[in-house]
Structure 1
Amino acid sequence: MTAPKPVTRPTRILSGVQPSGKLHLGNYFGAIRQHIALQNTGECFYFIADYHSMTTLQDPTARLANTRDVALDYLALGLDPNKATFYRQSDVPEVCELAWIFSTVCNMGLLERAVSYKDKLDKGLEPNVGLFSYPVLMAADILILRSHLVPVGKDQVQHIEITRDLADRFNRVYNREIFPLPEYRLDAESRIPGTDGEKMSKSYGNTIEIFAEGKPLSKTVMGIVTDSAKLEDPKNPETCTVFALYSLFATPLEREQLADRYRAGGMGYGEAKKALLGQIEAYFEEAREKRKSLVRDPGYVEEVLRVGAKKAREVAKVTLELVREATGFIARPVV
């Protein structure tokens, strides 16, 4: 008699993006592009982290607008709601209850060692409790769906390690194997330079927006900081922000040709910036037109988020009931 084959479950992939401003090339190449690709390889859940945005953004009107912009951007860039579950974090309230429960098994030292918190304080952000406990809410986002794989940038790797620690602590404290220990996945292009050469970030004010066009886009690209080399001087493509950004869009042959022109001299940075501008405009042209179409159909976008939240809550409710049972709370129906 042949032994039955073990039941295999699809890898559950989860990631989120904060609606704290316009999405930019760093978001796209560091996260969104791989999110879109992964929707064909596993069971994907992607959420708009509107609760997380409260640590730095207190304007409710701006948050609503930013949340809608993120939804439009993802759908325009290729997220397929038939393949991936797409939802707002605030539409899954079970996340907040789990975050509180995790906070009771999380020691202070674990959060005090979080590099991201220290970095944000160094940038002048107010040291509020939400900012300090950000990794706990992030752990709840991931573990409420019992996710296995979390695509993140390098700056979020420590948060995944904290998530694993909290999952393991909860399982040991309550002697239940409820939570898996999720792994992180880094994209090859997890650090994208901004217009000043530093990491592209809204907090640095050095971003190139994905859906910028016309004069605003041209002004941003032409304003990229370069060195003082003269037109006739040879230039080093490996240390140039313009070339680094151009390489994200160009074919290997285009990249090689531009590098040769840099080294040969006789080409100014202005010409290189115009080449980059052309690449950006061509790359996002189709998505830009799709986004304009989605703007005219707000009901569709809202329906995608509503259906996504319903699917996410179905999973979240099961997880939370397991947690409530393990922690000694009376099981009760979740509305």
Structure 2
Amino acid sequence: MLKNVVKSQLFSSTSRRCCSNKVRNWPKIIFSGIQPTGTLHLGNYFGAVDKWKQLVDCSDGDVILSVVDLHAITLPQDPKHLHSGILHMTASLVACGIDPEKCILFQQSKVPQHALFGWVLGTLTTMTRLYHFPQYKEKTETLKDIPLGLFTYPVLQAADILLYKSTQVPIGGDQVQHLHLAQHLVHTFNNKYGVTFPIPEYIVEAHSGAGRIKSLREPEKKMSKSHADPKSRIEITDTPEQILSKIKKAVTDFTSSVKYDPENRPGVSNLIDIHALAVGQN
């Protein structure tokens, strides 16, 4: 099916220029991806992978999931470690319940159209728009030499989504601005070359703690695979003893009572979120 999806009439000469949006019944296609760096942690699992599993099992459309290794190389990577990471991430997703018999699970760089279409969309994107992405500012704070790929990766992300004419994209709250770029590029492309892509909509569970799992060491920040301190995250491969140790050492506060207050007591609230998700409660 992947081959059929990629062979779209992306640059067909028969496409007509559009003067206004045309209503089409686009087939439901859900797309999402994850970088093959580090080991999956609870934030990844509850915030993304568990939702993917539900979509794969219950969706009435096609679900396409990608191990996005092209995004990983926006920062320096050891080739051997990256190759191992791709295999490890794929195995982790399958172990977490992603059934490749029910969805498409593939390696991004194996489909060269991602890079090709990313270049095309880059000609329709302005530098001013990309400068406003908070993730770019956050990731470049500690870098002396900033890779161009880090600056343009939202464009490649848009290419990932649009290449398969995706209609829905499950994302975290911090990725909404990235999808807005994809939507903007759909309008630009369709108005210039003819109606070619649907406008992708995002799937965000605003009231779920799954999208708010924070670092155990810095509860003001997201739990991250790239954090220097391994005690900041609970990885899916951790032993029960390691999990217990990390929870005991998690940063909280000096108040003995247990109260859910993310704004004033982020450490305690983070542990409550983790416990609630682990036992299946809201």
Give your verdict on TM over 0.5. yes
Which residue of 35, 51, 66 corresponds with 1:18? 35
Structure 1 Cα separation of the partners of residues 243 and 83 of structure 2: 24
Whichever residue aligns with residue 74 of structure 1, its letter is L
SS at match of 1:51: helix
State the match for 1:286 in structure 2. none
Structure 1 Cα separation of the partners of residues 184 and 280 of structure 2: 41
Structure 2 Cα separation of the partners of residues 123 and 26 of structure 1: 23
Q: CA deviation at 1:244?
A: 2.5
- 5+ residue gaps, structure 1, are 1-6, 256-335
Percent of residue pairs identical: 35
Runs of 4+ in 1 over 6 A off after TM superposition: none
State the match for 2:211 in structure 1. 190
TM-score, structure 1 length as denominator? 0.68
Q: CA deviation at 1:73?
A: 1.1
SS at match of 1:16: strand
Q: CA deviation at 1:220?
A: 2.2
Deviations 1:44-68 (A, max 9, x none): 0000010100012421111112111
Whichever residue aligns with residue 17 of structure 1, its letter is I
SS at match of 1:236: coil
SS at match of 1:184: strand
Please show how residues 117-196 of structure 1 align to structure 2 within 5 Å.
117-124=136-143, 126-174=145-193, 176-187=194-205, 188=208, 189-196=210-217
Higher helix share: 1
Are the equivalent residues in 2 in contact too, given 1:50–1:90 (CA < 8 A)? yes
Are the equivalent residues in 1 in contact too, given 2:26–2:167 (CA < 8 A)? no
1:94 is the counterpart of 2:113: yes
Structure 2 Cα separation of the partners of residues 91 and 251 of structure 1: 37
Please show how residues 1-335 of structure 1 align to structure 2 within 5 Å.
10-39=27-56, 40-41=58-59, 42-124=61-143, 126-174=145-193, 176-187=194-205, 188=208, 189-196=210-217, 197=219, 198-204=221-227, 205=229, 206-229=232-255, 233-238=256-261, 239=265, 240=268, 241-252=270-281
Deviates more, 1:202-211 or 1:25-34: 202-211
Are the equivalent residues in 1 in contact too, given 2:167–2:200 (CA < 8 A)? yes
Whichever residue aligns with residue 135 of structure 2, its letter is S
Structure 2 Cα separation of the partners of residues 86 and 57 of structure 1: 25
Are the equivalent residues in 2 in contact too, given 1:20–1:57 (CA < 8 A)? no
SS at match of 2:191: helix
Deviations 1:61-104 (A, max 9, x none): 11112111111111011111121100000111111110111111
What RMSD over aligned residues (CA atoms) do the two structures have, in Å? 2.1
Structure 1 Cα separation of the partners of residues 202 and 258 of structure 2: 37
Structure 2 Cα separation of the partners of residues 126 and 136 of structure 1: 20
1:123–1:154 Cα change, 3 Å = farther
- 5+ residue gaps, structure 2, are 1-23
Q: CA deviation at 1:123?
A: 4.9
SS at match of 2:52: helix
1:208–1:123 Cα change, 3 Å = farther
SS at match of 2:36: coil
Deviations 1:239-275 (A, max 9, x none): 31322311111255xx9xxxxxxxxxxxxxxxxxxxx
Q: CA deviation at 1:125?
A: 7.6
Are the equivalent residues in 1 in contact too, given 2:31–2:170 (CA < 8 A)? yes
Across the two proteins, how many residue pairs are aligned to each other? 244
1:148–1:18 Cα change, 3 Å = same
Are the equivalent residues in 2 in contact too, given 1:57–1:63 (CA < 8 A)? no
